[in-house]
Homo-oligomer: A and B are copies of this chain.
Amino acid sequence: MAVQSHVDAPDLACDVFHADPARVAEVRAAQPDAVTVERLAEIFNALGDPTRVRLLSALATAELCVCDLATLLSLTESAISHQLRFLRSLRLVRARRAGRMVFYRLDDEHIVRLLAQGREHAEEGVSRFGR
């Protein structure tokens, strides 16, 4: 059995069409429903933007206010608020008022871990392929 690397593999497909009905049925039973698939795509799509990656990576480190984020990312408060409103609508971040300040953090542990896994994979890629 030849194991081919994903890096230099040519366009790979089976030489013959042979779907395994039992395997397909087993996998089908374990799939997320249509609403979950749509929501998952929506979440990942929201994360697929460098500014939002930077913003969420910052919030993965500490609870921050709009002023902190504007300073850190060199963006206007208005631009930061706009992004936070969008991320809040998807339940990726949540806000907490403390006196005259409002602090933001990642919505829950899933988002923290999701970002951490993505970052590890991306950093591994950078060190493996130097890009």
Contact = CB atoms under 8 A, between A and B. Distances in A.
A119 to B, nearest CB: 6
A75 interface: no
A11 B61 contact: no
Nearest to A101: B14
Interface string A41-72: 11111111110111001100110111110111
Interface string A1-24: 111111101011111111111011
Interface of A: 1-7, 9, 11-21, 23-24, 26-28, 30-33, 35-50, 52-54, 57-58, 61-62, 64-68, 70-72, 77, 81, 84-85, 88, 91, 93-102, 107-108, 110-111, 113-114, 117-126, 131
